[in-house]
Structures are given as structure tokens and as C-alpha cells.
């Protein structure tokens, strides 16, 4: 065997050894979800409806997939992450005091986008609720509209317990009016932070 060949084989062995020492965390392509049921409660604000803001109490129920493919980020079906099964709203009022009815059309598919934190400690996960539909109706029934769009959000954990998801926070979004007359600007934004109740999902590397 030539000297150059022996050098090349030695270099290859070194690279493989270093890759092995790098651990399976960086090589893992799958996030495992324990306790995949998400029940989150809190308040949301719907902005830009007749120039007003509508605030609602909300309870959301979603089921995450038991395994989420990291390599499928931003794509379907590879990045499928679960489903929002039900959303209930209550006490919806605008900043003037008028009552509104807000209905989220479910089910809503979820797509995985990325995770936060430094492997192997995952502190959160970014998901998008795809083509979320929201119907908003005034108490009189005279003002109603249907809006639709993608709703990105983040599920986060506390620093002292990485991976245990305790909070849901909506990220920048725009839902466009596709029917009706309730929004002057034809777009709304949903903001808010919800607390994850009961059994909280736990993210680990598969």
C-alpha cells in the first residue's frame, strides 16, 4: 500500500471517529413526543376588525404526532406534526364593549417548522396551523366574515425543565378575509399566549 493511500485511510478513520463522538443528538432526524395531547387555555386578541380589537378567552385541544421528522421541516407530508382538534372561545368583546362570536373551524393540520434550544436540550418547537379558518360575527348578526390563513406559533418550556412544553405563543401572522364584511382592512392578526394545562408534552430525540 502506498504512503498516500495509508494517509488517506488514516484521515478517513479519524473523521469517522470524530463523527461518532459527536453523538447521536445531532444525527437524530426524529423528535419523540411523550404525552402528545395539548390542552391550552388563555386569552387571544384579534386585531383590525372594524378598527377595533376583540379579546376572547380560549381553550384549545390539539394532538401532536408521537414522532416528528426534523428533516421534513416546512414540508408536507414529511413535516406533519399533528392536528388541532377543537377550539372553544368565550366572552369575546371588543375594546368598545360590543359582543362578538368567534369560531375556529376545525380540524386544523399542523406542520413542523423547527425547534429551539441547543441539542440535546430542546426548549421549544415551532409549528404552523395551516389554512386556519376563523368566523367572526357581531351579536346582532349584521356583521360577519370568514378569514383564513396560516397561524405560526411556538410551544416552549422552562429553562429548568427543557423539553416539557408549558406555553403556546402566537407568532406574527395575517389572516385574510375571504367572505363577509367585518374587517375594514380585509386582514386580521391573532396574538396571545396560552398556558398548556394537565399532562404537558415532552420533547426528546428519538
Quick: pLDDT tens for 167-206: 999 999 999 999 998 765 678 999 999 999 877 899 888 7
Q: What is the pTM of this model?
A: 0.83
Q: What is the pLDDT of residues 135-145, one digit of tens each?
A: 999 998 888 99
Give the position of cell 398548556. Answer: 196
Strands, E, within 106-164: which ranges?
A: 108-118, 121-138, 144-157
The candidate with the shortest Cα–Cα distance to 177, out of 150, 140, 152, 149, is: 149
Amino acid at each position: 500500500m502506498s504512503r498516500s493511500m495509508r494517509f488517506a485511510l488514516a484521515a478517513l478513520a479519524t473523521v469517522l471517529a470524530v463523527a461518532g463522538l459527536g453523538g447521536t443528538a445531532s444525527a437524530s432526524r426524529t423528535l419523540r413526543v411523550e404525552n402528545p395531547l395539548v390542552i391550552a387555555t388563555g386569552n387571544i386578541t384579534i386585531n383590525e376588525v372594524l378598527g377595533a380589537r376583540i379579546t376572547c378567552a380560549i381553550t384549545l385541544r390539539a394532538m401532536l404526532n408521537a414522532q416528528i421528522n426534523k428533516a421534513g421541516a416546512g414540508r408536507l407530508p414529511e413535516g406533519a406534526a399533528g392536528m388541532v382538534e377543537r377550539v372553544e372561545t368565550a366572552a369575546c368583546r371588543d375594546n368598545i364593549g360590543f359582543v362578538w362570536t368567534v369560531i375556529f373551524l376545525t380540524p386544523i393540520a399542523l406542520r413542523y417548522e423547527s425547534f429551539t434550544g441547543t441539542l440535546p436540550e430542546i426548549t421549544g418547537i415551532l409549528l404552523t396551523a395551516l389554512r386556519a379558518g376563523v368566523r367572526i360575527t357581531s351579536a346582532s348578526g349584521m356583521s360577519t366574515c370568514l378569514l383564513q390563513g396560516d397561524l405560526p406559533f411556538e410551544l416552549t418550556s422552562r429553562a429548568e425543565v427543557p423539553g416539557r412544553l408549558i406555553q403556546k405563543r402566537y407568532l406574527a401572522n395575517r389572516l385574510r378575509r375571504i367572505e363577509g364584511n367585518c374587517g375594514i382592512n380585509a386582514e386580521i392578526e391573532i396574538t396571545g399566549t396560552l398556558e398548556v394545562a394537565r399532562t404537558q408534552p415532552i420533547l426528546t430525540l428519538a
